[in-house]
Amino acid sequence: MRVTKIEYQKRDPNRVNLYLDEQFFCGISLDTLASENLFEGLEIDQEVIDRILEKDLKSRFLIRVTEYLSHSPKTEFGVFKYLKELKYKKKGTWFKEDVNIDWEKLFNEIVNKLKEYRYINDREFARSFVSSRLRNKPRGKSVLVSELISKGVSKDIAQEITNDMVADEMDLLKQTFEKKYRNQTFDINNQKMVGFLFRKGFSWDLIEQFSHYEPEE
């Protein structure tokens, strides 16, 4: 196939429209244009065509997901989910449905690049999440672990970070209770109080110990 036309896009001067054999093929970045040394009249084969499209799609997905991460930290799982959703939304505009792309390989390369530059770090995400919960919405270890897992953090990392940051769960239970009930005294026969602590992720054994808790003077 032959490159028959290259024209700058009106809305984005950093991209051009690429025409092959007089037919519009796709839009590509100036970086891709330069790295592939494309010019009008150049003969290219299918291998080069596939590489051009894959390289440009990788750049577009990487730019979009970086913007997505700039708003708030996300887990590796969350980024993969976003990439798959973006692929679905952009099908037919960024690429044709039957395009020859190994999407799993492409997304893995993007995620690995983001991890390399520490845009994604599940341990740091978990530490930040637990820190925020302990500061604003204290709750037991089991709930913290469950919440982290629901965010896409692995069970091992969730347990590791939670155990590291919650050294004294009894103290955490006390803070949780006082945040809700202020200066009231805990009564294990009060079903509302016990139910509240259960919902916050504290075990029966710990709640029972709390009923005998005497603060140090």
Task: Give residue 57's pLDDT.
Answer: 92
* Three-class DSSP category at 98: coil
- Cα distances from 124 to residues 109, 129, 131, 182, 202, in angstroms, run 21, 8, 10, 32, 25
CB 151 within 8 A of CB 129: yes
Task: Give residue 136's pLDDT.
Answer: 87
CB 161 within 8 A of CB 123: yes
Task: Give residue 171's pLDDT.
Answer: 86
* Three-class DSSP category at 64: helix
Taking only the tens place, the pLDDT of each residue in 194-210 is: 999 988 888 888 898 88
Helices (H), 23-154: 30-35, 46-71, 76-90, 103-116, 122-136, 141-150
Q: What residues form DSSP beta bridges with 19?
A: 5, 24
CB 144 within 8 A of CB 153: no
Where are the domains positioned within the chain?
1-44, 47-120, 122-211
CB 37 within 8 A of CB 31: no
Residue whose entry in the numeric block shows the structure tokens 């803070």: 175
Separation between Cα atoms, residue 170 and residue 147, nearest integer Å: 20
* Three-class DSSP category at 183: coil
For residue 14, give the DSSP letter.
T
Separation between Cα atoms, residue 28 and residue 51, nearest integer Å: 12
Strands laid side by side in the 23-29 sheet: 3-8, 15-20, 23-29
Task: Give residue 137's pLDDT.
Answer: 85
Task: Give residue 132's pLDDT.
Answer: 92
Task: Give residue 217's pLDDT.
Answer: 44
Task: Give residue 26's pLDDT.
Answer: 84
Under-50 pLDDT residues of the chain: 217
- Cα distances from 200 to residues 46, 57, 189, 209, in angstroms, run 58, 44, 18, 16
